[in-house]
Each structure stands twice: as structure tokens, then as C-alpha cells.
């Protein structure tokens, strides 16, 4: 398959659009930060993290060790990013 029939990030954006604009969202392994780029006008509290900055919205870091404070995020998104060898570290950081 060369293309997803429905891209998961589209489903996630649909869910977030129906939620409060005050939510703090962490997009882990965000790629080009499509979520933040698309929703920044309605949901300004999206933190986008990846190992490489493919956009100005991306903060470079290992998602197992983000700069966010504990208990500071309402929604954590792992859209296609749970493929690393330290998967449990990613989940622990999100928790």
C-alpha cells in the first residue's frame, strides 16, 4: 500500500477540533508538526516534539525525555511514533 486510506492524524485532528481550545497537547514524534500547523489558530497549546525539526513548530528532543513539567499535558499523541526500541520509555514519559 503506497498511501493510507485514512491518515490517522486526520482522525486525531477531528477529535481535537471538538475539544476545548485550552487543552495542552503533546504531539510526540510529530514529524513535520502537521497537527500544530493545522490547529494553531484554534488550539494554541500544542507542543510538537521530534528528533529532527522538519518545521519551525518542532522542538527537537528525545520523546522519552521532554522538557514538559509532570502533569502539565491533557492529551498526548503518539501517531505512528511508537516504533522505537525504547517504547516503554516513551509511554513512561507520557504518563
Query: What fold is seen in the domain 8-94?
Result: Rossmann fold (3.40.50)
- Convert the pLDDT of each residue in 10-46 to its tens digit: 999 999 999 999 999 999 999 999 999 999 999 999 9
How many angstroms separate the CA atoms of 59 and 42, rounded? 20
Burial of 13 (0-12, 13-18, 19+ CB in 10 A): middle
Q: Where are the domains of the chain?
A: 8-94
- Convert the pLDDT of each residue in 38-91 to its tens digit: 999 999 999 999 999 999 999 999 988 999 999 999 999 987 665 566 667 766
CA-atom Rg of the chain in angstroms: 13
Amino acid at each position: 500500500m503506497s498511501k493510507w486510506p485514512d491518515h490517522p492524524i486526520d482522525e486525531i485532528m477531528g477529535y481535537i477540533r471538538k475539544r476545548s481550545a485550552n487543552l495542552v497537547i503533546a504531539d510526540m514524534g510529530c514529524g513535520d508538526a502537521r497537527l500544530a500547523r493545522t490547529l494553531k489558530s484554534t488550539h494554541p497549546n500544542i507542543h510538537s516534539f521530534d528528533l529532527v525539526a522538519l518545521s519551525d513548530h518542532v522542538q527537537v528532543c528525545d520523546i522519552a525525555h521532554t522538557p514538559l513539567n509532570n502533569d502539565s499535558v491533557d492529551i498526548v499523541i503518539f501517531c505512528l511514533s511508537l516504533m522505537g526500541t525504547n517504547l516503554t520509555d516513551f509511554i513512561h514519559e507520557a504518563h
